[in-house]
Amino acid sequence: MRTRWNFPFIGSGTVLVAVMLAALVGLSMLGHATSWDATWRAVGVTPLKPHFFDMHAVTDHAACFAQGYNAYEPNSCNPLAKFNYPPVWLQLGYLGINGLDSAWLSILVAFIALVIVATLLKGRSPLDGALSSAAILSPSVMMGVERGNIDLVILALVGLAALAFKDAKLSRAFAASAFVLVAVVLKLYPIFCVALVARFDRRALLFAITLIFGSLIYLGSISDYLPVIRANTPTTFMLSYGYKAVFLGLDHLRAEAGRELLHLADTWMPIAFVLIVLTSSIVVAIYFAFNRQPFCTISNGIAGTAFLFGAGIYCGTYLLGTNFIYRLMFLLLCIPQIQDWTKINGENNKLTVAISYFFQVFVLLTLWSSGNSNGHSTFVATSQLLNWVIFFGFVSILTLNCIQQFPAGMKSGPMR
């Protein structure tokens, strides 16, 4: 009797869980056999001391604040890192949180973020699961895990917002905006989730209006802290992405060669380059919107919402100047929609499929090429080029969908 092997229960979610568990066991064994610093460097992550360095920047300063110190000024609580978070984090000090809590807090937020991302990525093919696992295990994302970075909390909240915003219900739109507003209170930049307006329906507009007004009220309430937070945030080419990173890196390369620095990052050139790329991407979107069949249409489901949030945060933070590469973790939100585009059939969808494969490759490449075990002294030019291309592509797709969705959005039915 012939038996046919069939495993319908194996999908992207199963593969993700299996790979994550295998990676956890493997890293734990390697860490105990050698050292954690050596283990992190083996996977392309530059480790810092103390472990969970970024979480310590929160917990140490919160404990300081509870003792009456000004956390935004240099102090002995954490002399290695300047505090550059909104003041709400300092309230943890009154709950008894201090540096000793950094490890379990870091592990907890990493686990929650992973569960939410896995939920967004499930329901696809085993190959999609393998590719998603490769993205999650990239040096860029793992750097956030190693540091215990607060961006993992923001990723979880924005992912929850994407999951909440799935039905045509007014309550879900408010729930999604509430999750994102909490993220804005904690880290400010999730305001770029306003990119959901590219969908141009009434729920998206309601979400955007709620987010903008809520964010403006909050920013006004902490306006005295904003210049200090900005001043305490480093601007560097090291393990970074953003429109200024390539110009800062050029000076680093010239310094290594013993040549005079150009200081191009402080001139008009970076802004001019941004304007050229933005204009080009918008012109390309307008051309294709009026001269071709619609393509790369962002879905109305969870994958489409996650893509809009992820692409909005990526493009918005790109314009901030520089960001450490752990913030590339928000590209994970774009992967479900990109993978769904590869499954579209039909003669008119060949361009969408081609672009989706292009994006899938470029996202993986930038996640893997940005990290370097010697990252504090090496400028990675390849990753900067990849990030500029992704920025151009995302702006084009957001603009294209905004143009395509405008007429339909104005005719959308009532919300429940």
Hey, which residues does 323 pair with through a beta bridge? 241
Distance (Å, whole) CA 369 – CA 134: 13
pTM (two decimals)? 0.92
Q: Does any domain span residue 1?
A: no
Say whether pLDDT at 6 is over 60.
no
Q: Does any domain span residue 2?
A: no
Distance (Å, whole) CA 151 – CA 305: 19
Quick one: residue 393, left, alpha or beta (phi over 0 = left, psi -120 to 50 = alpha)? alpha
| Helix, strand, coil % over all residues of the chain, rounded to 5 | 70, 0, 30
Distance (Å, whole) CA 219 – CA 233: 17
The DSSP 8-state label assigned to residue 299 in this structure reads P
The total number of structural domains that make up the chain? 1
Q: Does any domain span residue 223?
A: yes
Burial pattern 333-356, b for ≥16 Cβ within 10 A else e, equals bbbbbbbbbbeeeeeebeebbebb
Say whether pLDDT at 409 is over 60.
no
Residue 3's pLDDT band (boundaries 50, 70, 90)? very low
Distance (Å, whole) CA 341 – CA 330: 19
Q: Is pLDDT larger for residue 108 or for residue 72?
A: 108
What mean pLDDT do residues 83-111 have?
94
pLDDT at res. 62: 93
What mean pLDDT do residues 18-30 have?
89
Say whether pLDDT at 372 is over 80.
no
**8 Å CB contact between 45 and 38:** no
- Residue for token pair 């001391």: 49
DSSP structure string for 232-298: HS---STTEESTTHHHHHHHHHHHHTT-----GGGSSHHHHHHHHHHHHHHHHHHHHHHHS---SPP
Q: What are phi and psi of 207, to 5 degrees?
A: -60, -50
DSSP structure string for 45-58: ----SSSSHHHHHH
Give the domain extent around 372.
12-21+31-37+46-410
322-345 pLDDT, tens digit each = 999 999 999 999 999 999 999 887
Average of per-residue pLDDT values in the chain: 88
Q: Does any domain span residue 7?
A: no
Task: Pull the structure tokens for residue 415.
Answer: 């919300």
What mean pLDDT do residues 236-240 have?
84
Q: Does any domain span residue 150?
A: yes
Say whether pLDDT at 414 is over 60.
no
